[in-house]
Amino acid sequence: MENLESKRYKEFYSLESRHYHALRYETLYGRLFQSLHHYVLREVLDPLTRQAKVLEVACGTGHITKLFVDMGFRPVACDLTPQMMHQARARCQGLSLFLETDAFQLPFPNGIFDALISTRFLHLFPHEQQQLLFVEMLRVLRPGGLLVVDFDNFFSRWLLAVPFLIYNLIRYHRVAPDSIYNRIKATEKTLNKLGVNETLCYGIGGTHLVVPCWFSQNLAFFLGLKHQRKPLRCLAEQFIICGRKGP
């Protein structure tokens, strides 16, 4: 049964779906963010065999689902909002299976996926609810399976408070998005406690990179790659954690 919060998000994203993709991935910075995001994901996913059973949770308009398809996977993707998934379905041209479902209650048996990915989703939820989502995601992942999840970066939010404010005012006419920020070490620790091993963390993007973008996308991409790792990782807008479910 759908809870109140899920109902609220479904309503929100039904409307947001009209301009979600254009605003997130078709602006100057959006294109840079997407290329940096895909660069890391390709590196992380490439070692998987193309027969691997892959699940994407909260696929939205499907830019990651399409990346999987382009890499030769045949993913299963799910989301709460049909209007978002409708675009994902069109993007993947029949090469992915889509299911309308709530991530808190995934309609799959235990341990059936070799890999599970979820992007730009967990920042919607307070940390206690993130934990519930991790548990549900890990339930459907097989032991040794790969978990790839991302978060909004607490450090960059505060270190770059001024450019972040300016960016949000210009781009979205708001002070800051309604988002939950995570600390890298604490999040890694939480996942380790839930049995996720061999964790690796990569920084992605940074709204300040819009400045080099005005001059050259190549330069901005080069600088963006430097944000994957320490010391610049603390400035990245988001961070991805990848790890293996323990036995």
Ligand X SMILES: C[S@@+](CC[C@H](N)C(=O)[O-])C[C@H]1O[C@@H](n2cnc3c(N)ncnc32)[C@H](O)[C@@H]1O
Report the C-alpha gap between 99 and 2 in whole angstroms.
15
Residue 58, interface with ligand X (CB under 6 A)?
yes
Contact (Cβ atoms closer than 8 angstroms) between residue 148 and residue 116: yes
Could you count the other beta carbons within 10 Å of the beta carbon of residue 41? 22
Residue span binding ligand X (CB under 6 A) among the ranges 73-81, 135-143, 169-177, 214-222: 73-81
The two three-digit tokens of residue 210, written as one number: 């819009």
Residue 6, interface with ligand X (CB under 6 A)?
yes
Residue span binding ligand X (CB under 6 A) among the ranges 6-14, 47-55, 183-191, 216-224: 6-14
| Number of alpha carbons in the 13 Å side-chain half-sphere of residue 120 | 18
Owner of token pair 């380790």:
192
Q: CB-wise, 106 or 160, nearer to ligand X?
A: 106
Could you count the other beta carbons within 10 Å of the beta carbon of residue 125? 17
Minimum distance, C-beta of residue 75 to ligand X, in the bound complex (Å): 12
Q: CB-wise, 102 or 188, nearer to ligand X?
A: 102
Q: CB-wise, 127 or 192, nearer to ligand X?
A: 127
Give the pairing of strands 113-118 and 54-57: parallel
| Binding residues for ligand X restricted to 105-134, rule: CB under 6 A | 119-121, 124
Interface residues with ligand X (CB under 6 A) are 6, 9, 13, 24, 58-60, 63-64, 79-81, 84, 102-104, 119-121, 124
